[in-house]
Structure 1
């Protein structure tokens, strides 16, 4: 059974279990998942795309307008996938949707008074990556790692955060991925903000670059930090501590483990490394996929870790952060965004050596 058929089978099982007649998918992430990597967005900041998918027990429809239909057909090759196109004028496509689902009990991947909200169920399906998706994620991880490495080695003191962000965006887009998150902080802003939108502030000694790159609908996350000159002692202590926390998260993210239990290990690692309350200052990441995080890890999360899922943990201690995207395998976890020649910190957990990125020091 190919990738598309496996997904349609899962959707139709959801319809049966939820006693629904049809499913409407409009989110950019869900569209990409259901179509095996196609793009329905024009505005990359939009959560909802310019095409709507409707799936019943025996049919699959794609509703869009005359502007988008040619690209979706010719470049995304969705007619070849067997989708029945319903093409409207740009000002009337909601009419076709209404006609298609009239009298039916319908679920959707977004909140609406007209539909049953099954967005959580769809997020769970999106997060269970099939083998072709895992291979695409590997390729995306390599793209993001190469982009980050190339960008950070082009940074020099005196550049503004905007200039650094532009370099990171260029290196990402030139490799075929879209930087949906491109955050940069320099010097004191690394300490002040966990989500630093770039500003005109110019680099003196210390910078943090954060990238979420999207391709085939999948989203891969990576963070790296660079320091010009000898690393201050407080940063050296913090980078060691955050590496230990990240290693604990990665080590315990194994199949059949409850996400809350993984999180408990992280909380313990924060405390053990002398920064007990830092986890409260920023989310720690979680399950990745067609959203940068399909589900966040929390102390009460009931989600279960499955083989084939991707995770992007991002523990932080004020002034430092550690973030890569990993793929959960049967025997071990694979770091998809590893940069081979990047300086690393070795962490030993239960006899297992886990390597986390250090701050790159430039003398």
Structure 2
């Protein structure tokens, strides 16, 4: 039997009330931003921002970081006027599937026309991806969308649960002798049947995950173990997952190394607090490597994660990053070392990060008071 996603999907459009029920709150945030900057219009062009506002998929190819539409927001007392600017190919699909229930007007251009020609410009027009004549407010808009609404937090929890379950099932279907491509196909299938778009998909057979920290699948075959990694998206929100299956028990030293890596992850999670700078959390986390028996420069071999939610990572966190971790922001850390990697997607609340990527059927271990994924053996 095909498993259904945990987030309710009440109609063929795939929309749920959580996406449009909180639109007034999101528009109020945008209106406040516009007032502070002395703007009367905002042009939203970043896919992450459009997904935050509408819950829509604004991409066509998964690989593009550009949107097939722009949304013009004109705040006014009591609300805002929204206009979707797109082309004649995309408008019918967007109306019928992605933007059902979103109150907006439409500006539809021929597909051969440049959308920027239909966008407002001037000193009182701001944008998260400005063109000439617009005010650059990308930093302010990124901070605005970084804090999830309650409805978005609920949606993210469902995305994370479904992505974790998909990875558990896929790992259980892997067998020695299978190629990395075959394992990637299994993982993609398990994600897609749960209405999750794979926006990143990595597979590492045996020890390749230590050599290649972003192991795009190859024809290499697995003998001893497999690592499955995905970033899975639904309604614009993304879960980052890493799981490792060992077909035979690893030796004591390797098991202990994995356990020490979970201690490193705990250093990142312990430092992920409301009001801290993301660079502070990064520095505390990377300090966990030498504290738990890894090289002090192990973190040089791979970025360690950072702000997530509407993108797999907004940018890789680093010591000098000054963005403040706000309540209801999303962070995904992914420490790696000794041939292992661990990863989670966390909603930051008042008393610390809530780890969301959990499937009760995956073996778990308690680390620093949190339930963390163990190795699946057998």
Task: Verify same fold: TM over 0.5.
Answer: yes
* Contact 1:62–1:84, Cα closer than 8 Å, also in 2: yes
SS of residue matched to 1:283: coil
* From 38, 44, 65, the counterpart of 2:56: 38
Task: Give, in whole Å, the separation in 2 of the partners of 1:114 and 1:358.
Answer: 53
SS of residue matched to 1:9: helix
The answer on 1:87 being equivalent to 2:103 is no
RMSD in angstroms over aligned alpha carbons?
Answer: 1.9
Q: Unaligned stretches of 5+ in structure 2? A: 1-19
**Aligned residues between the structures:** 354
Task: Give, in whole Å, the separation in 2 of the partners of 1:263 and 1:52.
Answer: 34
Deviation of the 1:326 alpha carbon: 1.5
Deviation of the 1:264 alpha carbon: 2.7
* From 324, 336, 346, the counterpart of 1:326: 346
Task: Give, in whole Å, the separation in 2 of the partners of 1:300 and 1:102.
Answer: 34
Pick closer, same or farther for the CA change 1:295–1:127 going to 2, 3 Å. Answer: farther
Alignment of 1:142-291 (within 5 A): 142-275=161-294, 276-291=296-311
Task: Give, in whole Å, the separation in 2 of the partners of 1:267 and 1:77.
Answer: 42
Task: Give, in whole Å, the separation in 1 of the partners of 2:320 and 2:119.
Answer: 40
Q: Unaligned stretches of 5+ in structure 1? A: none
* Contact 1:39–1:216, Cα closer than 8 Å, also in 2: yes
* From 65, 87, 107, the counterpart of 1:47: 65
* From 362, 374, 377, the counterpart of 1:342: 362
* From 32, 37, 44, the counterpart of 1:25: 44
TM-score, normalised with respect to structure 2: 0.88
Pick closer, same or farther for the CA change 1:256–1:103 going to 2, 3 Å. Answer: closer
Partner of 1:70: 92
Task: Give, in whole Å, the separation in 1 of the partners of 2:97 and 2:132.
Answer: 34
SS of residue matched to 1:211: strand
SS of residue matched to 1:260: helix
Task: Give, in whole Å, the separation in 2 of the partners of 1:312 and 1:73.
Answer: 33
Task: Give, in whole Å, the separation in 1 of the partners of 2:268 and 2:245.
Answer: 23
